[in-house]
């Protein structure tokens, strides 16, 4: 008789336990923040003052393992009205509860607007198809709004700025309007739209594109301001876009006026009217002369 033996099993005490990763949750976060106090979005080893670092620290108090990434690497002093981030954890939590607990742990100038369940593979940066930035130029000195605008003393020709902005849309090489972090990175960007409008004491500049180069928006805005000042003509501006070889536009607009306004994903649209994120309104109280008080007889 032939007996077929199965695989030899180790004694129970010698078996190596199989580690199973606990099933976790994946979320899409929408975040607003004032970037004035921070060295940008991206976490850095040499400074704890980043928005991503503060969010990771807060999430780390709720879960053992945390993976967090943002859709846009905003620079120091730049703000966000609706930054998008993915959060992957080793535990599950109701999205509304997650928002409440994160905000309870975050500083006053970072706020999670909402959280929603996301596929485990959702990536805030790689899956984004468009990003929208809004820049606020103030035409007057403002005591309250300084952290959210770039004040330009000179009178600006908005019509000339709008004419130049029309040349930005389309597929162009923006090598003259960026600071390169990686020399191997392509400097070709497809700009979907660019708008300029007045709103009271503000001039608003909105630009939407699939992605942006480092400091690209701030350098384009600085060029538009020079055109508005009549220090730069539209033709020279266009030549910087069409023939960027060995040309660099050095001025860069202040980070205080820049907001990441929206991040879009597949099948999403953005239709917010072009209006300020932080307004600059001139407040003049209406004083009514007091009626003379008549003495009693």
Helices within the chain (DSSP H only): 51-60, 95-105, 158-165, 216-228, 234-242
Encoding tokens for residue 288? 């009514």
d(CA 121, CA 123): 6
Provide the pairing of β-strand 188-199 with 170-173.
antiparallel
* Cα dihedral 57, 63, 67, 69 sign: negative
247-to-18, 197, 242 alpha-carbon distances in Å: 59, 29, 11
Residue 152 near residue 168 (C-beta atoms within 8 A): no
Q: Is residue 75 annotated as a catalytic residue, yes or no?
A: yes
Annotated catalytic residue, options 75, 109, 201, 271: 75
H or E stretch covering 190: strand 188-199
d(CA 152, CA 239): 25
d(CA 81, CA 30): 9
Calculate the dihedral angle through the C-alpha atoms of 145, 146, 152, 158, rounding to the nearest 10 degrees.
-30
d(CA 193, CA 165): 9
Residues involved in catalysis: 75
């Amino acid at each position: 008789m032939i007996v077929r033996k199965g695989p030899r099993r180790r004694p129970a005490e010698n078996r190596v336990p199989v580690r199973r990763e606990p099933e976790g949750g994946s979320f899409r976060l929408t975040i607003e923040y004032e970037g004035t106090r921070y060295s940008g979005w991206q976490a850095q080893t040499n400074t704890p003052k980043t928005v991503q670092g503060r969010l990771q620290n807060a999430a780390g108090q709720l879960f053992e393992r945390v993976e967090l990434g943002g859709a846009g690497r905003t620079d120091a002093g730049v703000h966000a009205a609706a930054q998008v981030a993915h959060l992957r954890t080793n535990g599950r939590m109701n999205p509304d509860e997650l928002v409440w607990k994160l905000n309870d742990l975050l500083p006053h100038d970072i706020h999670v607007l909402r959280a929603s369940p996301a596929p485990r593979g959702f990536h805030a940066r790689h899956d984004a198809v468009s990003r929208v930035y809004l820049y606020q130029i103030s035409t007057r000195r403002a005591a309250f709004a300084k952290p959210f605008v770039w004040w330009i003393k000179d009178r600006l020709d908005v019509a000339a700025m709008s004419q130049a902005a029309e040349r930005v849309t389309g597929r162009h090489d923006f090598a003259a309007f960026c600071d390169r972090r990686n020399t191997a990175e392509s400097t070709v960007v497809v700009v979907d739209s660019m708008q300029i409008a007045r709103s009271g004491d503000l001039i608003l500049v909105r630009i939407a594109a699939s992605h942006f180069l480092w400091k690209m928006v701030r350098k384009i805005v600085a060029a538009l301001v020079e055109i508005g000042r009549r220090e730069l003509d539209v033709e020279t501006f266009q030549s910087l876009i069409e023939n960027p070889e060995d040309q660099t536009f050095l001025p860069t607009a202040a980070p205080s006026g820049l907001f990441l306004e929206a991040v879009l994903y597949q099948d999403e649209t953005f239709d917010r009217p072009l209006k300020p994120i932080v307004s600059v309104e001139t407040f003049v109280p209406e004083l009514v002369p007091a009626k003379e008080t008549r003495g009693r007889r």
